[in-house]
Amino acid sequence: MNFSWWVLVVGLFAYTVCGGCPLTWTGFTVEAFSGLWEFVKLSAASGVMLCLENWYYRILILMTGNLKNAEIAVDALSICMSINGWEMMVPLAFFAGTGVRVANELGAGNGKRAKFATTVSVVTSVIIGIFFWLLIMIFHDSIALIFSTSQPVLEAVSRLSLLLAFTILLNSVQPVLSGVAVGSGWQSYVAYINLGCYYLVGVPIGFLMGWGFNLGVMGVWAGMIFGGTAVQTVILAIITMRCNWDKEAEKASMHVQKWVETM
């Protein structure tokens, strides 16, 4: 895993320094330092936003590991998280693509095109999410055979499959909306939303359902998903739907013009 990440780092560094697209990016120049502070602020907010989300699912496994007789539960949850992680590669691709497209369209002053790109990305990702949701629901009792032949683990994964299916469905929307937020420069707002939804709502509800109501791993996961991820997705959806795209395009165009004037 470390090797694969370092290959990515080296490849991106080579592209940054040497270039690869003569019409758009010819390599590193001192112009990269222009507007650096604004970029740092956006990058820091993006990092916090993504870290809060990534740590949330690690906390889920950590909390499950502190349950009684947790060995089977942790095995089953780890398998579910691995399957979820594989499927998440699709929404994460939409996250990156949507962020770039929305940013480009807003920077060019095309609010309607940014809105259209958002709609296409969300609808397409949801359709893919529904497809994987159906796969999980249909093969709930055998999908864990990819990882294990232990009958207790297979049964535990089967019991968790409903939560896995709905997690995948939610995650087909949430990353795309996060990509819209990144492309629109809302990273800091989303970081606060993630902090509130995940750690002030999701974790306490997961703890309450897991230990307070003695629902075990099902309660922990259900509380954190429907109390945290679902609430966050609803908030991002409301923000996106209420967005004045023409106004956002005007603001982005002004920033681009200021940047050009400083060159």
- Cα–Cα distance measured from residue 47 to residue 182, given in angstroms and rounded to the nearest whole number: 11
Q: Which amino acid would we find at residue 16?
A: T
Contact 117, 126 (CB under 8 A): no
pLDDT digit string, tens, across residues 203-237: 999 999 999 998 999 999 999 998 899 999 999 99
Whether the CA torsion 58, 158, 216, 235 is positive or negative: it is positive
Q: Which amino acid would we find at residue 144?
A: A
Collect contacts of 234-238 with beta carbons under 8 A, ≥24 apart. 235/193, 235/197, 236/174, 236/177, 236/178, 236/180, 236/181, 236/190, 236/193, 237/173, 237/177
pLDDT digit string, tens, across residues 18-60: 988 888 788 888 887 877 887 888 888 888 888 888 898 888 8
The list of the chain residues with pLDDT below 50 reads none
Assigned token pair, 138: 């249909």
